[in-house]
Structure 1
């Protein structure tokens, strides 16, 4: 190895070591040394949902006292990528819904693939405790999407008492699967529900009983706080049940059509973990594990727990210690949600602090572990981070930016409760090639990174310089005159050769990110020189048709509509 190459590797190793050291530390390039605090309403505010649009702008759901009444209403705000208020969004950076007579609260936000925004929670037109479900859809610029519901708003009553959506997910048909709680009128007890809505906001009456599945109507305390849809299209819900006199972290599995709980899961579709608390957050990990997080209350306070289960509801005892990850930093450590990084690592977050008003103050709390439930000490100093920003604070939601940095959203209290967003540096190297997401143009493929050797004419940008190296293949094209049609294509693509030609070795379809969409295959000609490729199931976009011959490679581009 010559001195220049050795120097390069030493420099790159030192750079990686430095970046690793920044994981979990406040990002000084964001807002005020990594922390954005905004008293949006001028009174009390609560951040409860965060997402990032394709241009890097940050959207946050913020319930607050926006009108001249004592009570919350609904807000959505947007920040620039560096954490400043984006005045181009809605009305000077804020979308507000409600008036001085109403009340409402938002619990969840999603930025959709087209940058439109969905938020959901509960809403009362007259400010009473008779809350209805509410879903609001905004265009990317913060104006209501009038094609959704009634001018962008859906109101749906479930029961005579208070109804709230705590979370929702978009399924494979772009339907909205929402979960939450409906309170029994005149009672302190509550019931679980999952409801499904069409993409335009109309209730999907083919699901359950006129669009709503309700269970545990048993004069008890039940809450659904998170929902997910598995690869087999079943619906999972997590939250709280009280079957044995104490609150238990719970998970439920519901059939896709909402007709009933799935009796093959756990105990007739219900799982009550042996921990006292509420499963506020849930994610189905890419390895198939069902992960939930919440507090485990005990005589000394609470510990944050993450529990792992197989898809049949049995504990995954290979995760953490016998299926349990638990951390005790302060008297009260509470998990409110969790996310999976592209490299499979898990970040659970919420709050950490003393009991009630005892020190230390309640603060933003995050802890990272690998997919086996082992704490990852590269996050912060020792695998967890406590960020104190007031006398009381907590993180309700989180998201990952395209560069791997982590955003937490919640509230912080000084004189009032303020919306707060915190950004942490992070290094994610999914393909383990030594380059993080921020500089690696494809962090899923080891052979693609800024230090890779470029391969000519394959339609792939191996060295991340923004283009593929093109070398003339005129001789090949002269020998094999290839015609590809139709272009754009919706279903079957035809590749026509002038005559039966055994020079063609294989044909590969590559998507715009450089990944193989359809693997290479050797064409069979018989008497027809036309090759047929079914592209109906591929997503819309630009594709490279790479035709490998004994003389070289011919690349043709086609648009899938």
Structure 2
């Protein structure tokens, strides 16, 4: 007889002792972290994500004294390189100088973006099949290289719209002064000339200004909500600009003032990361210089660009991390609306890689780690986390680089399940209401409310994050109260498991279960 005892885990308090070894997950490469050595002088990861089939992808750039090359590596959940990907587990390509962003599309293809060569850069986007070979239906050889107006062009972010087109955002300029560039490619990899008649749009703030893409989101009707970090050299001022771009590539003049919201949170704030909600509200993460050190700042704004007074101090949270300087690079939200930010932290000497926990109220989250900070330094040199993701089962995978006495190596690290498990994506209109019967022998039903029509499936993972099986295949459910039956595999062993409700590559909700096979 099979019985499952089920608990909805929307808030799980926890305590840890703050020591590095107590947080590292030894199920990952036996020691909780892995160094990639691709045989180059320097290797740095810029992006990482978890695929629909529970594979870990890590990508970035590597260099020798004579060449620069991009790489993407696939790992299994235990930290071992997956040799079924391109026969070695890694793709190294000299067409790219570096990969800056990557994700998995709805067909399990891997989309990567970056730049070609350190000097005279061109924007590059590639599509890679699940087996690690380039998809030749994309631009003929799987790689599209574009030069806009003979400038130095770098692709930093990529997303796919509802029509299967790729929206790429980055910078263009002379290598010092930069403008924001956003382009759209069709599914075959060609510039989509229905976007601003040219396939791209350049946002120029001035002749001696530097602007960078913080984030963007594709919203209703394939409009693009774009968040830009802007520095004006003439006035030495920092500000944040938000644009709404129509599907045809023109700026929506009804948004803000002539299509732009200018947000001045703090004149010395540098935006490093952000999270944009589907309704246009957003969080901004970065650092601001106070008392001769960089302090962590998070701001919450509504869709009109107004600071949300219910968060922090009138919408802004500024936290000093002890006497250290903290520079964030990536930010995620947990199930209880608290924040995790990765980056580096330094007091004196070489900086440590770190992940910082901030509560939903904007204060240091000491339940995440001692003083709210997980710090990692492998060899008393420079360590840095550039990217991370949160498993549906609660663990964290972080990627970046770790310096030794000779060069930099890519590091991938896994932290134990010490965060809340529950609704990971706060922006989907799904609400779990009941799981019954409880306990049950073989079949059960999940009851939930949907505010809108939604496509999802249900998958089963064990506590380590290993994928077990698909319980319910993807299908579209209508809005309203629904009941979804599930059937547990007969061969399942007793233990703790996670039911994950997933829409394509987005996690909607997680349910922790204890399974008893009797």
Q: Normalised by the shorter chain, which TM-score bucket? A: 0.7 to 0.9
For residues 31 and 239 of structure 1, what CA distance do their matches in structure 2 show? 38
For residues 112 and 236 of structure 2, what CA distance do their matches in structure 1 show? 32
For residues 154 and 465 of structure 1, what CA distance do their matches in structure 2 show? 35
For residues 342 and 390 of structure 2, what CA distance do their matches in structure 1 show? 13
For residues 364 and 51 of structure 1, what CA distance do their matches in structure 2 show? 18
Q: Which stretch of structure 1 is more off in the superposition, 373-382 or 23-32?
A: 23-32
Once the two structures are superposed, what CA deviation does each residue of 1:427-469 show, in whole Å capped at 9, x if it has no partner?
43326xxxx99xxxxx9625238x934499886599x998xxx
Alignment of 1:118-197 (within 5 A): 118-124=111-117, 129-184=119-174, 188-197=176-185
Q: Which stretch of structure 1 is more off in the superposition, 141-150 or 379-388?
A: 379-388
CA spacing shift, 1:71–1:245, aligned 2, 3 Å: farther
For residues 292 and 445 of structure 1, what CA distance do their matches in structure 2 show? 29
Once the two structures are superposed, what CA deviation does each residue of 1:4-61 show, in whole Å capped at 9, x if it has no partner?
xxxx99x999xx6668889992212212522211122331001011011233221111
Aligned equivalent of 1:208: 196
Alignment of 1:34-113 (within 5 A): 34-65=32-63, 69-98=65-94, 104-113=97-106
Aligned equivalent of 2:264: 273
For residues 319 and 310 of structure 2, what CA distance do their matches in structure 1 show? 17
Specify every segment of 5 or more residues in structure 1 that has no aligned partner in the other structure, as ranges.
Answer: 1-7, 438-442, 467-510, 522-538, 541-561
- For the 8 Å contact 1:164–1:180, the answer to whether it is kept is yes
CA spacing shift, 1:285–1:325, aligned 2, 3 Å: farther
For residue 233 of structure 1, report the CA deviation from its aligned partner: 4.2
Alignment of 1:245-264 (within 5 A): 245-257=235-247, 258-260=249-251, 262=253, 264=255
Once the two structures are superposed, what CA deviation does each residue of 1:98-128 show, in whole Å capped at 9, x if it has no partner?
2xxx66121111122332211101114xx7x
- For the 8 Å contact 2:284–2:298, the answer to whether it is kept is yes
For residues 261 and 411 of structure 2, what CA distance do their matches in structure 1 show? 36
For the pair 1:403 / 2:393, whether they are aligned, the reply is yes
CA spacing shift, 1:388–1:444, aligned 2, 3 Å: farther
For residues 101 and 245 of structure 2, what CA distance do their matches in structure 1 show? 23
1:452 to 419, 438, 455: 438
Aligned equivalent of 1:381: 370
Secondary structure (helix, strand or coil) at the match of 2:270 reads coil
Aligned equivalent of 1:311: 303
Aligned equivalent of 1:418: 409
Q: Which of the pair has the greater relative contact order for Cα pairs under 8 Å at 6+ separation? A: 2
CA spacing shift, 1:69–1:268, aligned 2, 3 Å: same
Secondary structure (helix, strand or coil) at the match of 1:447 reads strand
For residues 311 and 18 of structure 1, what CA distance do their matches in structure 2 show? 34
Once the two structures are superposed, what CA deviation does each residue of 1:379-426 show, in whole Å capped at 9, x if it has no partner?
123333222234111111111223121111111111211101111123
For residue 345 of structure 1, report the CA deviation from its aligned partner: 3.3
Secondary structure (helix, strand or coil) at the match of 1:445 reads strand
Q: CA RMSD in A?
A: 3.7
Aligned equivalent of 2:27: 29
Alignment of 1:214-363 (within 5 A): 214-219=202-207, 220-231=209-220, 233-243=222-232, 245-257=235-247, 258-260=249-251, 262=253, 264-265=255-256, 268-275=259-266, 276-285=268-277, 289-298=281-290, 300-329=292-321, 330-354=323-347, 358-359=348-349, 361-363=350-352
Q: Which stretch of structure 1 is more off in the superposition, 16-25 or 133-142?
A: 16-25
CA spacing shift, 1:173–1:37, aligned 2, 3 Å: same
Specify every segment of 5 or more residues in structure 2 that has no aligned partner in the other structure, as ranges.
Answer: 449-457, 461-471, 483-502, 505-518
Aligned equivalent of 1:517: 478
CA spacing shift, 1:352–1:131, aligned 2, 3 Å: same
Bigger proportion of residues as strand = 2
CA spacing shift, 1:251–1:388, aligned 2, 3 Å: farther
- For the 8 Å contact 2:435–2:445, the answer to whether it is kept is no
- For the 8 Å contact 1:266–1:312, the answer to whether it is kept is no
Aligned residue pair count: 445
- For the 8 Å contact 1:159–1:183, the answer to whether it is kept is no
- For the 8 Å contact 1:73–1:97, the answer to whether it is kept is yes
CA spacing shift, 1:336–1:229, aligned 2, 3 Å: same
For residue 374 of structure 1, report the CA deviation from its aligned partner: 4.2
Structure 2 length normalisation: TM-score? 0.76
CA spacing shift, 1:314–1:12, aligned 2, 3 Å: closer
Secondary structure (helix, strand or coil) at the match of 1:271 reads strand
When Rg is computed on C-alpha atoms for both structures, the one with the higher figure is 1
For residue 513 of structure 1, report the CA deviation from its aligned partner: 7.9
- For the 8 Å contact 1:238–1:279, the answer to whether it is kept is no
For residue 291 of structure 1, report the CA deviation from its aligned partner: 1.2
